[in-house]
Amino acid sequence: IGLVGCFKGYNSKKGTAGVGIAANTAVVFTSMLLFIIDFVAVFISDIFYDL
């Protein structure tokens, strides 16, 4: 979460509008990234631990 926020913040455009867009993009990207990581973790755990 911190890495995505820092990356988007450092690469934001100038002004309050640029910072707002960067923050919104960071939140959306982080949410999608966490969903994908969770999906992969569940998929891998299902392979090794058959319940």
What is the domain partition of the chain in residue ranges?
2-48
Give the pLDDT of the chain (51 residues) as one tens digit per residue.
Answer: 888 889 998 889 999 999 999 999 999 999 999 999 999 999 999 988 876
The C-alpha atoms of residue 34 and residue 32 are separated, in whole angstroms, by 5
Q: What is the pTM of this model?
A: 0.74
Strand, coil or helix: 42: helix
Give pLDDT, residue 51.
Answer: 64
